[in-house]
A and B are shown apart, each in its own frame.
Chain A
């Protein structure tokens, strides 16, 4: 059904008018510039500094009506809209050039996971502050030794009765230094198979023992950190879902993260055609090779937009698109990288300085096909879960083959304070511990992996 047909059947025309009037009356003029880039985003949280009073007012007004998370139930801070109503809202916001009032990992990642796996108290406690933009969340998944092989996380949570005692390290934690809370994957059972010993745990970043260290990106900005946990006490009720079954929560959340990234990748040029943007460069699209590449990118962009719409129509009640999110993420991010390559090529030497050029956006897009699972991992997911091709050994047997580490705790290492301890010091072990490269600014190398407690 087209939106127009839906409106006729559900009385959506009335809803459209209502929303249009509300937006007209409530969206401050400064928030109507259609901006959607990194600078325009309102992330919220206790340490958030609003770019202007209008940004604050816009957030408060939307939050009061549940419009920061339109499809969430009203009890958790949403507006309880259906997918079709949400579509109308988005269309009206776009028509007005209204900025998104709030974007956050809470909205895009943790929220859907809590809605599905959280208990009622957790939903009532954690969701409304996300909807109001009061609490900002970060994602503690990756570790130095667990990137694509995410189920290999080693940050350990020891059972202490009423609490967990957490020790270990996360890396690439986006905005960890600005976040209020973290959702993290912790190893709660070292004996079990690797996917079956992980729990999904929520932690207040102000808890004693948690610290962060920013890492610089090639684009010049520093949006992510190393996050350290040194004997952090966490109440047991902060586990989401079943203990040791956190992998299910983690995977579900990842499908939403991938959808978010594919949407984000598309937003960067939506509304205006890439070719039209490129034509405005100093020498335009006079180069036939560039022109041909731009035409191809344009066709693919349109087909991707049609696909995003099709999948959204198919996915019911905000459940997300499941494994196909791997496809949206892979195609969206690869295309986005290609588009920024074309922008750089069209701008020529004009793009080679930092000030007011696409250079940093261009560099930032390179992370799109790494964060949230690499393109290669997306292709593996598609081949196994959608095409049912046989899984390859490394994926399934890596846990069985891996010898259990003699070290009772995972190592903590930092780019700033490499600890020099090349060998495991436990009597009779003496295993050489491999150095790890830290990709942060491309210059420094990580120190040696150490067994911090001497085994």
Chain B
């Protein structure tokens, strides 16, 4: 991935990236969704890269180079409850001399076991602060989670984790402002991955409709199934438009992308749920086995639905931005 320039898709050229932009990153994410590719792409190449490139300092530049070269991976420690709510932070950062002491918990940290570095938002007297620490830092305990999609995730406990002052990214109190563009980039890329997943699940389903025979005919000749498949195609088309739109706006006017990103993530979440549920149902008993990938799509779609904000979270953002 690094050799093909994928890891550096959002890394600036001066840090050896290919800097192809969000729409290009979405093309990759969509393919990964289709193939159920397990990769730190979203956490590292999309979110960490988007975050670090805002800082424009030598240290961040060094990290971006490593990301582009495929030598450094990141995880974002975001959630503290069962639902995504990035601004509600209980984990504390207490100023001690030049550095900070972190105490608290983060849950459902995607790539939390294997990523070499962790980005974490903490509450301090100066407001929300964003820290960048090695996953081997003393006092950081990781509990691996046995995820339904078999991917890397962990719960993290920060027990008197001592950090030096340079672990703080940007100014104290500006943590969420730094994090927000990275979250939006991640949400949009996750939407792209999810639409890829929906398309693949749908293609497999329509193939099955043309192949499986019952009552002497292919099951795809039953109108009850045809109309459900056609409806699903319509849903996928609308969602695809929303994902393309989000990529375009992130590349041209990122400061105004929140609405576009939330429409894309909400739609992608919803469409994938429909695609995998219909997929399993239309495969009959076969859909309940691992003979086809449908079950894997379903499990991945469920995790992707919760990560970085579920349908309700993003529909809420949309409602707020649209004046209600």
Contact = CB atoms under 8 A, between A and B. Distances in A.
Given A273-B324, A279-B324, A390 B218 contact: yes
Interface string A1-41: 01000000000000000000000000000000000000000
A382 B322 contact: no
A382 B234 contact: yes
B105 to A, nearest CB: 30
Contacts of B314: 299
Contacts of A303: 238-239, 241-242, 263, 267
Nearest to A381: B230
A292 B319 CA distance: 10
A331 B238 contact: yes
Interface string A368-403: 000000001011101110111111100000000000
B99 interface: no
- Report the interface size class on chain B: 35 or more
B97 interface: no
Nearest to B271: A303
A295 B315 contact: yes
Given A331-B238, A389-B220, A296 B315 contact: yes
Interface in B178-224: 206, 209-210, 217-218, 220-221, 223
A383 B239 contact: no
A307 B248 contact: no
Given A298-B315, A387-B229, A389-B220, A276 B263 contact: no
B18 interface: no
Interface string A276-306: 1011000001000001101110111011101
B319 A331 contact: no
Nearest to B236: A327
A296 B229 CA distance: 21
Contact of B319 (A295, A306, A378): A295
A298 B238 contact: no
B323 A383 contact: no
Contact of A383 (B229, B237, B244): B229
A187 B229 CA distance: 34
A295 B221 contact: no
Given A298-B322, A389-B210, A383 B241 contact: no
A294 B320 CA distance: 12
A331 B234 contact: yes
Contacts, number: 114
B227 A379 contact: yes
B319 A298 contact: yes
Contacts of A294: 319, 324
Contact of A307 (B218, B231, B241, B316): B241
Contacts of A296: 315
B233 interface: yes
A330 interface: yes
Contacts of B319: 275, 291, 294-295, 298
Among A303, A307, A380, A392, residue most surrounded by chain B Cβ atoms (within 10 Å) = A303
Contacts of B245: 306, 310
A359 to B, nearest CB: 23
Contacts of B226: 379-380, 383-384, 387, 389, 392
Interface in B244-269: 244-245, 248, 252, 259, 263, 266-267
Contacts of B230: 378-380, 382-383, 386-387
A299 B241 contact: no
Contacts of B229: 383, 387, 389
B24 interface: no
B233 A275 contact: no
A285 B319 CA distance: 11
A296 B311 CA distance: 9
B318 interface: yes
Contacts of A292: 315
A310 B318 contact: no
Contacts of A295: 315-316, 318-319
B243 to A, nearest CB: 9
A292 B316 CA distance: 9
Interface string B10-35: 00000000000000000000000000
A330 B210 CA distance: 24
Given A295-B316, A389-B221, A390-B218, A302 B324 contact: no
Contacts of B242: 302-303, 306
Contact of A299 (B206, B220, B252, B263): B263
12 contacts: A273-B324, A275-B324, A276-B323, A291-B324, A294-B324, A299-B267, A299-B270, A300-B238, A384-B226, A386-B230, A390-B218, A391-B221
Interface of B: 206, 209-210, 217-218, 220-221, 223, 226-227, 229-231, 233-234, 237-239, 241-242, 244-245, 248, 252, 259, 263, 266-267, 270, 314-316, 318-319, 322-324
Ordered nearest first, which 6 A-B pairs have the shortest CB separation?
A275-B324, A273-B322, A382-B230, A383-B226, A307-B241, A276-B323
Given A275-B324, A294-B324, 13 more contacts: A275-B323, A278-B324, A285-B324, A294-B319, A298-B324, A300-B267, A302-B242, A307-B238, A310-B244, A382-B230, A387-B233, A390-B218, A390-B220
